[in-house]
C-alpha cells in the first residue's frame, strides 16, 4: 500500500484545470477529496489553499496504485476553474467549498450552497467567522414573531453571544 498522503504538488490557480486534466489522463481516476484551508491567522497571501487529493485506483483489483495532493493557492476572486466534468464528484465538493469558505470557481458563477441554506450570510469555516454568531430560520433571534402558532417562549435560546 502506498503512502496515504501522496506527493504534494503546488499548481498555480490559473492553470488548475490543465494540470488536473493532465493528471486524470495519467491515470488518477478518483477524486478522493477536494477541500480548502484558510491561512488567515498566518497572514498569508493568497489566503486560501484549495486542495485536490487524487488516487489511481485499479478498478479490477480495487487497489491503490498511488496518490497525489494538488495545492492551489487562491484568494476570494474566482480564478480556479471547475473540474466537475473531469471527476463528477467535484460538483458537490466545489459547492461545499463555496458554502463553507466562499471560494468561487470562475466557470460556475451561479454556484449554490450545498449544506447551508440560501438565507445564510457569510461562510462559517472561515477563520474570521464569529464563533458565536447564529442565524436561525425560526425561533428566537430569527426575527420570527413570538406569537406565531408554535413559538415557544418558555426557554429562550442560549448561545453564549
Q: Contact positions toward other proteins, by CB under 8 A?
A: 115-117, 124, 129, 131, 133-140, 149-152, 154-160
| Residue with smaller CB distance to other proteins, 109 or 149 | 149
CA angle 108, 111, 116 (to 5 degrees): 155
CA angle 57, 97, 103 (to 5 degrees): 125
| Residue with smaller CB distance to other proteins, 12 or 156 | 156
CB-count burial class (<10 Å; 0-12, 13-18, 19+) for 119: exposed
Cα dist. 127→20, 39, 42, 43, 76 in Å?
28, 8, 11, 11, 14
Q: How far is the CB of 34 from other proteins (least distance, A)?
A: 21
Q: How far is the CB of 109 from other proteins (least distance, A)?
A: 24
Task: Dump strand ranges (E) for 1-62.
Answer: 7-10, 30-38, 48-58
| Residue with smaller CB distance to other proteins, 3 or 150 | 150
| Residue with smaller CB distance to other proteins, 64 or 92 | 92
Q: How far is the CB of 119 from other proteins (least distance, A)?
A: 9
Q: How far is the CB of 93 from other proteins (least distance, A)?
A: 18
Amino acid at each position: 500500500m502506498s503512502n496515504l498522503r501522496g506527493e504534494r504538488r503546488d499548481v498555480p490557480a490559473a492553470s488548475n484545470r490543465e494540470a488536473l486534466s493532465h493528471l486524470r489522463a495519467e491515470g488518477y481516476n478518483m477524486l478522493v477529496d477536494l477541500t480548502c484551508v484558510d491561512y488567515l491567522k498566518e497572514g498569508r497571501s493568497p489566503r486560501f489553499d484549495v486542495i485536490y487529493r487524487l488516487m489511481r485506483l485499479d478498478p479490477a483489483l480495487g487497489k491503490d496504485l498511488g496518490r497525489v495532493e494538488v495545492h492551489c493557492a487562491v484568494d476570494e476572486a474566482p480564478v480556479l476553474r471547475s473540474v466537475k466534468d473531469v471527476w463528477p464528484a467535484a460538483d458537490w465538493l466545489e459547492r461545499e467549498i463555496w458554502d463553507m469558505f466562499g471560494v468561487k470557481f470562475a466557470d460556475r458563477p451561479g454556484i449554490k450552497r450545498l449544506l447551508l441554506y440560501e438565507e445564510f450570510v457569510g461562510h462559517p469555516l472561515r477563520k474570521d467567522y464569529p464563533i458565536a454568531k447564529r442565524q436561525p430560520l425560526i425561533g428566537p433571534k430569527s426575527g420570527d414573531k413570538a406569537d406565531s402558532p408554535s413559538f415557544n417562549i418558555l426557554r429562550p435560546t442560549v448561545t453564549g453571544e
